[in-house]
Amino acid sequence: MKILVVGGGGREHALAWKLAQSPRVREVIVAPGNAGTGLERRMRNAEVAATDIDGLLALAQAEEVALTVVGPEAPLAAGIVDRFQDAGLRCFGPGAAAAELEASKAFSKEFMARHGIASASYAVFDTLEPALIHVGRQGVPIVVKADGLAAGKGVTVATTLAQAEAAVRACFSGRYGKAGARVVIEELVSGEEASYIVIADGDRYLALASSQDHKRLGEADTGPNTGGMGAYSPTPLITPALAERIEQDIIAPALAGLEAEGRRFTGFLYAGLMIDDDGTPRVLEFNVRLGDPESQPILMRLRSDLLDLIEAALEGQLDQVDVTWDQRPCLGIVMAAAGYPDKARTGDPILGLDSLEENPDIKVFHGGTANNLMGDVVTAGGRVLTVCALGKDIAAARGQAVNTANAITFEGAQFRNDIGWHAIIRGLGDLFA
Ligand SMILES: Nc1ncnc2c1ncn2[C@@H]1O[C@H](COP(=O)(O)OP(=O)(O)O)[C@@H](O)[C@H]1O
Ligand SMILES: [Mg+2]
C-alpha cells in the first residue's frame, strides 16, 4: 500500500523510514519531507505544507493512499483527522477535540484537575493585571506558559520577578498571537524529566519504550530551551514499577477521561513527566503526537512492524498485538543550525553525509534540510539532523553517535556531547554503590 506521512522534521523522517520497512508498504509519500526523506528508497516528497489540510486531502485522494500518519501537532489541532475521516480516508492521530489536550494548556490543566492526574498547581489568566498580581504574590521561581501552540517557545521558567513579569507581558503583547491570549502560571516542580508515549485507541493502549529528551541548548542542561537537542531510549529513570504507576495514575485516567468527555483519543499520546526525588511522576504537559527527537531513538529500537501497530489501533485491536524492541539502547544527538534557537541560519552546505560508513546500528535522520539548486544538501531549519546510534549501553551508543556527528560538518553546527549524561552518571553511581 501507499502511505502518506505529514510533516518534514526528524520525527517524520523516522516515521517514514520505519513504515517503509513494512513488507506491506510499497511507497511512503512525505509532505513536505526534507532532503533526507527525498533520498530514501520507497520514499518520495510531495510539496504540500503540513498545515495545508485541503492540499493534503487532495494529495491523499489523487495518490490513493491507504493510510495517512500525522507527525506534528498543528494539523492535528486544526482537525486534519476529522477532515480525512469525513472524506472516508484513514488518518492516524487524534481529532481536533482530543488534540485540545495539547493545543490548550489551560484546557489540559483543568482536564488533569478534573481527573485527578498529578500536575503542578496553576492558575489561568485572560488579562494582564491579575496575572501580574498573581506572579507578585507567588514569587519566584515560577513557570509562565502561553496557553496555545507556540512551537516550544511559549514557556518561561522564571527565576527572577522581572523575568516572570516580562514573560507574562510577552504573552499578552501578542508575541505568540492567539496562543498567548491566555496565560497559565504554574508552580515550579523539581526533579528529572522523562517522556512516556503510548499508542492509543479509546481506553486501549500499548506503551512504547521510555525516553528522555534534553531541552536545553547547552551541555549540562544550561542555556535556552530548545525543541530538543537529543534523546535516548530507554531511560533507566523509568523502572518497570514506575512505568506501571505512570500507566495507572496518568495514562489510563487521561484516556478514560477523554473518552468520558466525548473526546475519544486515537493516536500517539505523549506524557511529558517530571519525576521527583521520591519517584513520584507529575505531568508537565501532554502532547498528542510523537516527540521530536524522542521518536528517532524509539523508532530505531522498534522491532515490530509500525504499520501493524497503527492498523491495530485504527481497528480497535490494540489488545491483540505485541510490541518487540531491540534490547540495546539508542541515543540520538541533534545537530542544530548556527543561531538556533533564536534565528537559525539556513543555506549552509552539509558535508560528510555521503562518506559515513555503512552500519545498521547508525542512522542519520534529517530535519531542517533541503537541496539547493545544485542538488547539494543544505541546512533549512533549526534542528538539522538527528544522529542516532544503537549501542550495548547508553555510553557506547553516545560514543558512536558523537563520532558520527563529528564526521558531519556545516558552518556553525551546534550539538551536545553529553546527551544521556543523567543515565551515564546514574550507571556510574550504581557501579560504585
Ligand atoms: N511546572 C514546571 N516546573 C518545572 N519545569 C517546567 C514546568 N513546566 C514546564 N517546565 C519546563 O519547561 C519545558 C517546556 O514546558 P512544556 O509544558 O513541556 O511546554 P512546551 O513543550 O509546549 O514548550 C519542560 O520540558 C520543562 O523543562
Ligand atoms: Mg514539552
Domain of 356, CATH number, reads: 3.90.600.10
Domain boundary among 155, 187, 219: 187
Ligand number nearest to the C-alpha of 143: 1
Residue 114 lies in a domain: no
Which of the residues in the chain have pLDDT under 70? Answer: 429-433
Residue 112 lies in a domain: no
Q: State which of 176, 285, 288, 294 you would mutate to test the pocket of ligand 1, scoring each by most atoms of that ligand within 8 A of its C-beta.
A: 285
Q: Measured between alpha carbons, how far is 367 from 384 in angstroms, rounded to an integer?
A: 5
- Do residues 136 and 207 share a domain? no
Residue nearest to atom 9 of ligand 1 (CA): 284
Q: Is 178 exposed, middle or buried (0-12, 13-18, 19+ CB in 10 A)?
A: exposed
Q: Cell triple for residue 30?
A: 512525505
Letter for the amino acid at 75? P
- Do residues 308 and 334 share a domain? no
Q: Say what the pLDDT of residue 146 is.
A: 94
- Do residues 37 and 128 share a domain? no
- Do residues 229 and 283 share a domain? yes
Q: Say what the pLDDT of residue 433 is.
A: 60
- Do residues 157 and 268 share a domain? no
Question: Reduced to 3 states, what is the DSSP secondary structure of residue 397?
Answer: helix
C-alpha distances in angstroms, 303 versus 102, 205, 327? Answer: 29, 18, 10
Torsion of CA 189, 192, 195, 196, to 10 degrees: -90
- Do residues 259 and 290 share a domain? yes
Q: How many domains does the chain have?
A: 4
CB 118 less than 6 A from any atom of ligand 1 = no
Site of grid cell 504540500: 48
Letter for the amino acid at 176? Y
The CATH number for 133's domain is 3.30.1490.20
Q: Say what the pLDDT of residue 432 is.
A: 66
Residue 430 has φ and ψ, to the nearest 5°, of: -60, -40
Q: Say what the pLDDT of residue 60 is.
A: 98
Q: Tens digits of per-residue pLDDT, 391-428? A: 999 999 999 999 999 999 999 999 999 999 988 888 77
Q: Tens digits of per-residue pLDDT, 227-257? A: 999 999 999 999 999 999 999 999 999 999 9
CB 120 less than 6 A from any atom of ligand 1 = yes
Domain boundary among 93, 113, 131: 93
DSSP state, residue 357: P
- Do residues 361 and 277 share a domain? no
The CATH number for 83's domain is 3.40.50.20
**Run of H or E residues at 144:** strand 142-146
Sign of CA dihedral 288, 115, 246, 273: positive
Residue nearest to atom 13 of ligand 1 (CA): 155
Atom of ligand 1 nearest to the CA of 119: 1
Buried-exposed string 318-331: b where 16+ CB fall within 10 A, e elsewhere: beeeebeeeebbbb
Please list the residues that pair with 336 across neighbouring strands: 383, 414
Ligand number nearest to the C-alpha of 194: 1
The CATH number for 211's domain is 3.30.470.20
Q: Measured between alpha carbons, how far is 210 from 244 in angstroms, rounded to an integer?
A: 12
- Do residues 222 and 300 share a domain? yes
Q: State which of 104, 143, 159, 282 you would mutate to test the pocket of ligand 1, scoring each by most atoms of that ligand within 8 A of its C-beta.
A: 143
Sheet of strand 330-336: strand arrangement: 212-213, 230-233, 330-336, 383-390, 362-366
| Domain enclosing residue 180, as ranges | 121-187
β-pairing, 212-213 vs 230-233, is antiparallel
Q: Say what the pLDDT of residue 62 is.
A: 98
- Do residues 143 and 167 share a domain? yes
Decide: 269 and 207 in contact? Cβ < 8 Å.
Answer: no
Q: Say what the pLDDT of residue 428 is.
A: 76
CB 188 less than 6 A from any atom of ligand 1 = yes
CB 285 less than 6 A from any atom of ligand 1 = yes
CB atoms within 10 A of CB 353: 18
- Do residues 249 and 337 share a domain? no
CB 272 less than 6 A from any atom of ligand 1 = yes
Residue 116 lies in a domain: no
Question: Reduced to 3 states, what is the DSSP secondary structure of residue 344?
Answer: coil
Site of grid cell 529513570: 237
- Do residues 197 and 315 share a domain? yes
Residue 11 lies in a domain: yes
Residue 104 lies in a domain: no
Q: Measured between alpha carbons, how far is 201 from 310 in angstroms, rounded to an integer?
A: 10
Q: Say what the pLDDT of residue 425 is.
A: 86
- Do residues 304 and 376 share a domain? no
Decide: 32 and 49 in contact? Cβ < 8 Å.
Answer: yes
Q: Measured between alpha carbons, how far is 187 from 370 in angstroms, rounded to an integer?
A: 41
β-pairing, 192-201 vs 266-275, is antiparallel
Residue 100 lies in a domain: no
Please list the residues that pair with 186 across neighbouring strands: 122, 143
Residue 413 lies in a domain: yes
Decide: 109 and 35 in contact? Cβ < 8 Å.
Answer: no
Atom of ligand 1 nearest to the CA of 122: 1
Q: Measured between alpha carbons, how far is 421 from 192 in angstroms, rounded to an integer?
A: 12
Q: Say what the pLDDT of residue 176 is.
A: 80
Residue 141 lies in a domain: yes
Domain boundary among 320, 354, 381: 320
Ligand number nearest to the C-alpha of 341: 1
Site of grid cell 505512570: 246
